[in-house]
Amino acid sequence: MHTIYTDRHHGHATENLVINGQPIESRETPARAEAILAAVRAAQLGPILAPTDHGLAPIRAVHDADFVMYLRTAYAQSAAYFGEARPVIAGRNDVTSERAPSCPEDFPGRRDYYTYDYEDPILEMTWDAAYWSAQCALTAADLVRAGERAAYALCRPPGHHAMPDQYGGFCYLNNVAIAARSLQADGPVAILDIDYHHGNGTQAIFYADPAALFCSLHADPDFVYPFFWGRADERGAGAGLGLNHNWPLPLHMDDVAYLVVLDEALHVIADFAPRYLLVSLGLDAAEGDLIGKFRITTQGFREIGRRIAALRFPTVIVQEGGYRLDTLGDNAVTFLRAFEG
C-alpha cells in the first residue's frame, strides 16, 4: 500500500505553544504523524510518496472561498491588527455562542466567525500544513482512481470536523471531504468515519448530497465532543435524505460490541454500492487513548480493517485522530495490513 506523507505538517508546531505568556498543552502534535510514519516504515508497508499539488480548486469545491482566504491570511491579519505576530485563537470560549449572521469586518469578529471552537490555533505555517494535508488526501485519491485497491493519506492536521466555512476540533480543511468530492466525478462515494468523535464537518458538507453516503460510528455526543452533532435522527436533507447514518455509542465500547455496530454500517455501505469508499481512520477509539474512552485493542483494529477491506471497494484511507503515541503506529499498521493483497 502507498502511504502519502509530507513533513510540512511540522510547520503547525503545536507542541511548543505559548499563548499570553502561558504554555498550552495540545494533544494534536507533530509527534502523532511521526509515530505512524515510523511504524509504516518499520513494517515495510509499501512506498511512501510525497503529495502532488492539486492547487486550490479541489479545496474550494468543498470550502467557502472567503473561508479559505481567511485561513490563508489569518496569521498576517492578526499581526497587522494587534501589531505583533502571535497565534490566532478565538476570543470567545463557548462553542454554543450564536454565530453572527454575516462575517464581521473587523479582525476579532472574523476570527470568531470562522471557527466554532476555541482551542485550535492558527500559527504562521498552519495554512501550509493544512493545505498539504489536503493534498495528501487528493494524491491518495488519485492512486485509487488509477487502479490501486487502497491508498493511505497520512494527514496532519486532521480534517473531519472542518465545516464548509468554519474550523474546529483540530481540523482546518476537511481532507476526506476534499478527496471524496474529487472522486465524485467518477460516481457516488461512501464515507465511513470510525473516529471516536463524530465527523460533523463531513456530515455538514454532504448532508443534502444524493451522490454521497455518510456513515459514522462515534461516542455519544450527549457526553463527548462535538456535542451538537452526531445523533441517530440526523438522516440527511433534501435529495440526500436517508443517506446520513450515525451510530452514537456508549462510552467504554469494547471490540465485540463495536464490531456488531460496524457490521450494521458495512451492510448500509454494501447496499449503497459506491464507486469509491473513503475511510476517516480515527485511532482515538483505541484502548487507553488520551482523549477517547473506547477500548478498541490492536486486535480489534485488525478485525475492523479486515471487515472494511472485505467490501472490496476501491478505498481511500484518511488519517484523523489518535493520541496515544505508544500504540498509535501499531494500530495504524495493523489496520492498514488488512488491505494488502
Residues marked as catalytic: 161
β-strand pairing of 22-24 with 189-193: unpaired
Residue 155 near residue 319, CB atoms below 8 Å: yes
Grid cell locating 169: 476540533
Nearest to 154 by CA among 288, 306, 305, 328: 328
d(CA 335, CA 39): 12
Handedness of CA 124, 40, 170, 279 (dihedral sign): positive
Q: How far apart are CA 212 and CA 331, in angstroms?
A: 28
* CA neighbours closer than 13 Å in the CB half-sphere of residue 232: 7
Cα separation, 159 vs 180, in Å, equals 13
Name the β-bridge partners of 2.
151
